[in-house]
């Protein structure tokens, strides 16, 4: 997808991202203090895991353009044209999340992948993300 500044784009990040990252960084600092005070590598491993979680949350985003979608996660980027969007699916038993089912532009054409919608906004259907999807891919709401 090219990023022409004259096209309409919308970028979505995790709901309450700033608060989440702030809390995780505070927890990481406390864990590092424990690691140095007690000299235990367990706390150091926990601190490293915390930093990786913060990086993941900071990096995740959904970019919506005139041509389609781009989803960025920790080590991956998924791109799909609007014609590649197939449906909305719900996954998970205890904490059900809604995902956008897409056919990717990967070399293994026809492979289905999923973009988490609930991650960006629990009530995404009632907000701007839902409005954009209803405009661009109305068939997924049928």
Residue 30: per-residue pLDDT: 87
Q: 87: phi > 0 → left, psi -120 to 50 → alpha, else beta; which?
A: beta
Report the C-alpha gap between 121 and 11 in whole angstroms.
12
Task: Show me where the domains of the chain are located.
Answer: 17-58, 80-141
Rounded to two decimals, the pTM is 0.70
What backbone torsions phi and psi does residue 81 show, to the nearest 5 degrees? Answer: -75, 165
Residue 138: per-residue pLDDT: 95
List, for residues 2-57, the tens digit of each pLDDT value: 444 445 678 877 766 677 778 888 888 888 888 888 888 888 888 888 888 777 77
For residues 22 and 16, the answer to whether their CB atoms sit within 8 Å is no
CA 121 to chain CA centroid, Å, is 10
Residue 2: per-residue pLDDT: 45
For residues 57 and 21, the answer to whether their CB atoms sit within 8 Å is yes
List, for residues 60-118, the tens digit of each pLDDT value: 889 999 999 999 887 888 889 999 999 999 988 788 889 999 986 555 556 788 998 98
For residues 96 and 109, the answer to whether their CB atoms sit within 8 Å is no
């Amino acid at each position: 997808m090219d990023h022409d500044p004259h096209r309409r784009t919308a970028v979505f990040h995790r709901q309450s991202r700033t608060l989440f990252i702030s809390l995780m960084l505070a927890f990481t600092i406390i864990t590092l203090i424990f690691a140095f005070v007690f000299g235990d590598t367990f706390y150091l491993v926990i601190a490293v895991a915390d930093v990786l979680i913060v990086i993941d949350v900071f990096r995740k985003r959904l970019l919506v353009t005139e041509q389609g979608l781009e989803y960025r996660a920790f080590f991956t980027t998924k791109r799909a044209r609007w014609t590649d969007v197939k449906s909305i699916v719900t996954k998970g038993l205890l904490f059900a999340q809604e995902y956008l089912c897409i056919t990717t532009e990967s070399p293994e054409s026809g492979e289905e992948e999923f973009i988490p919608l609930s991650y960006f906004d629990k009530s995404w259907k009632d907000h701007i993300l839902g409005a954009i999807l209803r405009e661009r891919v109305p068939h997924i709401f049928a």
